Amino acid sequence: MHILLTNDDGYNAPGIQTLYRVLKSQTNHDISIVAPEGQRSATGHSITLFQPLFLTQYNLGGQQKGYAISGTPSDCVKLAIQGGLVATPDLIISGINLGPNLGTDVFYSGTVSAAMEGVLLGIPALAVSLTSFDFMDFEPAATYLAEQLDFIVQHNKDGLMNINIPGKPLAEWRGVKVTRLGKAVYENVFERRVDPHGRTYFWQCGKLTQDRESDTDLRAIQEDFISITPMHSDLTDFAGVESWQTIFDSDKG
Amino acid sequence: MHILLTNDDGYNAPGIQTLYRVLKSQTNHDISIVAPEGQRSATGHSITLFQPLFLTQYNLGGQQKGYAISGTPSDCVKLAIQGGLVATPDLIISGINLGPNLGTDVFYSGTVSAAMEGVLLGIPALAVSLTSFDFMDFEPAATYLAEQLDFIVQHNKDGLMNINIPGKPLAEWRGVKVTRLGKAVYENVFERRVDPHGRTYFWQCGKLTQDRESDTDLRAIQEDFISITPMHSDLTDFAGVESWQTIFDSDKG
Going by the DSSP 8-state scheme, the letter that residue B197 receives in this structure is T
A78/B234 touch (CB, cutoff 8 Å), yes or no: no
Residues of B within 8 A of A126 (CB-CB) are: none
First to last CA, chain B: 54
pLDDT at B35: 98
How many CA atoms lie within 13 Å of A18's alpha carbon, on the beta-carbon side?
21
A6-59 residue pLDDT tens: 999 999 999 999 999 999 999 999 999 999 999 988 888 999 999 999 999 998
CB A164 within 8 A of CB A173: no
Confidence of residue A253 (pLDDT cuts 50, 70, 90): very low
% chain A with pLDDT above 90: 85
Q: Residue A190: which H helix or E strand, with range?
A: strand A190-194
Coil, strand or helix: which one is B220? Answer: helix
B186/A237 touch (CB, cutoff 8 Å), yes or no: no
β partners of residue B30: B2
Q: At what angle do helices B73-82 and B110-120 cross, to 10 degrees?
A: 30
A65-80 residue pLDDT tens: 899 999 999 999 999 9
Please say if the pLDDT value at position B253 is more than 50.
no
Helices (H) and strands (E) in chain B, counts: 6, 13
Going by the DSSP 8-state scheme, the letter that residue A89 receives in this structure is P
The pTM of the full predicted model, rounded to 2 decimals, is 0.94
First to last CA, chain A: 54
C-alpha distances in Å from residue A153, one per residue of A182, B14, B177, B225: 24, 48, 39, 41
A180/B238 touch (CB, cutoff 8 Å), yes or no: yes
B202/A79 touch (CB, cutoff 8 Å), yes or no: yes
C-alpha distances in Å from residue B103, one per residue of A54, A83, A243, B8, B219: 28, 21, 20, 18, 10
Cα B71 from Cα A128, distance rounded (Å): 27
pLDDT at B177: 96
In this complex, the residue of A42, A46, A237 whose CB is nearest that of residue B108 is A46
Instruction: Give the type of residue at A175.
Output: G
- CB-based contacts of A164, cutoff 8 Å, min separation 6: A100, A101, A102, A128, A129, A130, A131, A217, A220, A221, A226, A227
A232/B244 touch (CB, cutoff 8 Å), yes or no: no
Instruction: Give the type of residue at B136.
Output: M
Residues of B within 8 A of A116 (CB-CB) are: 107
Q: Going by DSSP bridges, is the β-strand pair B2-6/A226-231 parallel, antiparallel, or unpaired? A: unpaired
- CB-based contacts of A167, cutoff 8 Å, min separation 6: A100, A130, A131, A132, A133, A134, A135
> Cα B56–B58–B62 angle (5° rounding)?
150
Gyration radius of chain A over CA positions = 20
Could you report the predicted ipTM of this complex, rounded to two decimals? 0.92
Coil, strand or helix: which one is A160? Answer: strand
Cα B148 from Cα B152, distance rounded (Å): 6
B11-69 residue pLDDT tens: 999 999 999 999 999 999 999 999 999 998 888 899 999 999 999 999 887 778 899 99
In this complex, the residue of B46, B83, B200 whose CB is nearest that of residue A46 is B46
- CB-based contacts of A136, cutoff 8 Å, min separation 6: A14, A98
Cα B54 from Cα B34, distance rounded (Å): 12
Q: Domains of chain B (ranges plus CATH)?
A: 2-181+211-234 (3.40.1210.10)
Q: How far is A4 from chain B (nearest CA, A)?
A: 19
Cα B2 from Cα B31, distance rounded (Å): 6
Instruction: Give the type of residue at B205.
Output: C
